[in-house]
Amino acid sequence: MQSRFFTVVLCAAFLGGMSAPAGLQAEGDKDAGRAKAESCLGCHGIEGYRNAYPSYRVPKVGGQTETYLIAALKAYRSGDRAHPTMRAQGAGLSDEDIEDIAAYLAAADGAE
Ligand code: HEC
């Protein structure tokens, strides 16, 4: 009986510990992100989301969820997402840069 009680307490402690970093991760700084995202908008802010040359589709990133944007940028940085253009973009970003940029883009609903 007693050991079962401890199992429950330990599980709760473990789950609590797991959720804390996830909560922290979503606290990017929007204002810092706006400055850091400026170069991104050269591609992501263009009308029709189509680059002039070479002609390829650029996805709309403004208004996507922060969690998704963080995951996407980290995947480009690590090479899990192979697109060469975005790999080059992600390569120079720190975790903090990614979180700031994601916070800014998630809150943006304009042309980004
Ligand atoms: C030279 C043009 C260019 C620049 C500059 C650029 N991107 Fe991209 N981005 C693209 C293209 C093209 C894709 C689609 C890649 C693919 O198919 O995986 C993309 C994809 C993305 C995605 C994934 C979107 C989705 O719906 O899955 C995110 C997030 C993103 N870019 C963010 C950024 C950020 C943040 C920056 C600035 C640090 C940036 N991009 C700079 C061209 C660019």
First-to-last alpha carbon distance for the chain, in angstroms, is: 57
Name the CA radius of gyration of the chain, rounded.
18
Which atom number of ligand 1 is nearest to the Cα of residue 36? 38
pLDDT > 60? residue 62: yes
State the pLDDT at residue 4: 57
pLDDT > 60? residue 44: yes
Which residues does a 6 A CB cutoff place in the pocket of ligand 1?
37, 39-40, 42-44, 56, 58-59, 61, 69, 72-73, 81, 83, 85-86, 89, 101
**What Cα–Cα distance (Å) separates residue 111 from each residue in 2, 47, 51, 89?**
59, 7, 14, 19
Spacing, Cα 16 to ligand 1 middle (Å): 34
Residue nearest to atom 3 of ligand 1 (CA): 43
- Higher-confidence residue: 86 or 27? 86
